[in-house]
Amino acid sequence: MKTPVFLLLLLSFSVLNFSGRIENKSRLVQLPIRFQDGYGSFKKPNIGFRVLGWHSIAPDWARTESPITGIPDSWNQITKRQIFFDFRQFAYQNFRQGLVSEETVKEFFDPGYSHSGHAYSSDPIHCFVNIIYGKTPDGEIRYKLDANNNLDFSDEEEVAPAELNLQKLDSLLDTKNKQQVTYQAYRNSKTINLIAPVLVLQHKGSIMVNIPVHGEATIENKRIDVSSANFGSLDFDQVAICFEGDRGIGPYKMNQFFSINSNRFQIVGVNLDKELLLLKTIPNDSLVFSGQVQLNAPKFRLQEFKSTKEISLSQYAGKFLLLNFWGSWCAPCRHEFPQLKSVYNQLDKTKIDFVGVAVDDFEALEKYLSKEPLPWKQALVSEDSPIVKDYSIASYPTTILIEPNGKVIAKNIRLDFLLDSIKSTMSRWYEKEK
């Protein structure tokens, strides 16, 4: 599946934007951003870790590996991986070097496209750091991080990864499991050398890594903390923000809306070349459409799968509607269907309906539905379709509950509570309407 692509940053904005629609003009706000070690005000579950397995690298990427030295002779089950600070840069440079095909990289972006307000280097740069890990003769896991990025591990310390504990992340940042590493980035058409921390832990025998760096900006005397891909990268293509002191709401993600002192803003992204957090002001009298809770659901027009019939939001006016974004390739999506069907069968269809939005290909969806039919309507879309963008769908499955008045009332209700939540929400609504 594709990685969501960051839009080019423009100084003037039209009515239509990436994940929400605004029926009024707005202006761009540019806030200087400072990058700091640590997670800032972000808390679990908005601090993610990449799992590094023990399997070999995918064949399509095998040619991108560089030869390394200094691997401990006493280790068993030795595995080499790369921790990426900017994976799109890595994909682009290897495409330009002829090491990976256009077919391989096109799922990330069209070659030559600029993201985050900067271009990519055609020449190879160290936009990643290598890590090796294995097991000692007594079965203990050890790793080495090529902190100086010289492809030689003989000058690096052998470290036993601590156990991942989300309750004690801040204290783990003070251990040797966090190491400062050197890497390169392409900024303002130049390659620059940078330093960033990398945290390496273990959980149930797997190596877990993240990059504890956040940005800080200030608006109306409030500090905004900014993360990149849940601390999985430093490309800031997938931005989230939260406020100092954690106000109990948020974090807000790319293109979502938030208010400070009665002023409303939308998150545009980060310009790394200029080190700016970009926001848009949204006039309070603007009519905003977004997949964000408490805002107007974006209108859509879809075609029912294997049919010429139209599916549109307006068809469900006066009823609740549950949108289920999924794909046959998504194991968690498939896993929840028995319970989701049970919920559907217990609801009054005169008051609520479901619509499935399958981000898939025709043959795969047809094959799945022929074996596991679903009782509600399905529409087949691509990941760059308007409904996916307008509703800011970044993970699957995603469910969005829309009220009869067209406002988003809930998102990703836990499946165990879904039936009771829908029933209580409907009950409150119809009681209010009496």
**Tens digit of each residue's pLDDT (9 = 90 or more) over 357-416:** 999 999 999 999 999 999 999 999 998 899 998 898 878 999 999 999 999 999 999 899
Give the pLDDT confidence score for residue 118 in this predicted structure.
Answer: 63
- My answer on whether omega of the bond before 298 falls inside 30° of 0, hence cis, is no
E strand or H helix that includes residue 387: helix 386-390
- For the ranges 147-156, 212-221, 289-298, 395-404, the lowest mean pLDDT is seen at 289-298
In single-letter form, the type of residue at position 325 comes to F
- What percent of the chain shows pLDDT beyond 70? 90
Scanning the structure block, which residue is given the tokens 């990427």? 61
- Domain positions in the chain are 20-41+213-285, 50-209, 301-433
**Tens digit of each residue's pLDDT (9 = 90 or more) over 185-235:** 999 999 999 999 999 999 989 999 999 999 999 998 889 999 999 999 999
Give the pLDDT confidence score for residue 25 in this predicted structure.
Answer: 63
Spatial contact of 149 and 182, defined as CB atoms under 8 Å apart: yes
Give the pLDDT confidence score for residue 426 in this predicted structure.
Answer: 94
Contacting residues for 194 by C-beta, under 8 A, at least 6 apart? 182, 183, 184, 185
SS (H, E, C) 236-295: CCCEEEEECCCCCCCCEECCCEEEECCEEEEEEEEECCCCEEEEEEECCCCCEEECCCCC
Q: Is the pLDDT of residue 15 over 90?
A: no
In single-letter form, the type of residue at position 100 comes to V
- My answer on whether omega of the bond before 338 falls inside 30° of 0, hence cis, is no
Which is it for strands 190-203 and 162-163: parallel, antiparallel or unpaired? parallel
Q: Categorize the per-residue pLDDT at 250 as very low, low, confident or very high, splitting at 50, 70 and 90.
A: low
Give the pLDDT confidence score for residue 294 in this predicted structure.
Answer: 87
Give the pLDDT confidence score for residue 253 in this predicted structure.
Answer: 87
Give the pLDDT confidence score for residue 187 in this predicted structure.
Answer: 94
Give the pLDDT confidence score for residue 57 in this predicted structure.
Answer: 77
Q: Categorize the per-residue pLDDT at 332 as very low, low, confident or very high, splitting at 50, 70 and 90.
A: very high
Q: What CATH architecture is 301-433?
A: 3-Layer(aba) Sandwich (3.40)
